[in-house]
């Protein structure tokens, strides 16, 4: 079975992630903000102050610069996303 392409994502904290192109990730489509609005969820469950936003799931291959990616370490802006 052929190995799928990997996507190298550089985040705003200068860290990088390598994700399979078909990996499903969460991105913030509205927000984040400190007050919940209709349709928004808490995106940092263990941290204070609470941050809320509208979240969508997408494949890693669709990630682009400027989007905000939800990771286990928090929410980070994407500086670049390229096939690697």
Residue 22 in domain: yes
> How many structural domains comprise the chain?
1
pLDDT at 1: 38
Please tell me the distance from the alpha carbon of residue 75 to that of residue 13, in angstroms, as a whole number: 10
Residue 1 in domain: no
Residue 35 in domain: yes
Residue 42 in domain: yes
Residue 75 in domain: yes
pLDDT at 15: 95
Quick check: helix, strand or coil at residue 42?
strand
pLDDT at 74: 85
Range of the domain at 40: 6-83
State pLDDT tens for residues 10-19: 999 999 999 9
Residue 56 in domain: yes
81: left (phi over 0), alpha (psi -120 to 50) or beta: beta
State pLDDT tens for residues 31-76: 888 898 999 999 888 888 888 999 999 999 999 999 999 998 889 9
Residue 62 in domain: yes
pLDDT score of 2 more than 60: no
Residue 59 in domain: yes
């Amino acid at each position: 079975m052929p190995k799928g392409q990997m996507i190298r994502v550089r985040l705003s904290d200068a860290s990088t992630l390598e994700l399979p192109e078909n990996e499903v990730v969460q991105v913030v489509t509205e927000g984040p903000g400190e007050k919940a609005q209709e349709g928004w969820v808490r995106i940092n469950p263990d941290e204070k102050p609470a941050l809320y936003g509208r979240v969508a799931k997408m494949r890693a291959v669709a990630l682009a610069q400027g989007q905000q990616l939800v990771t286990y370490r928090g929410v980070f802006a994407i500086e670049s996303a390229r096939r690697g």
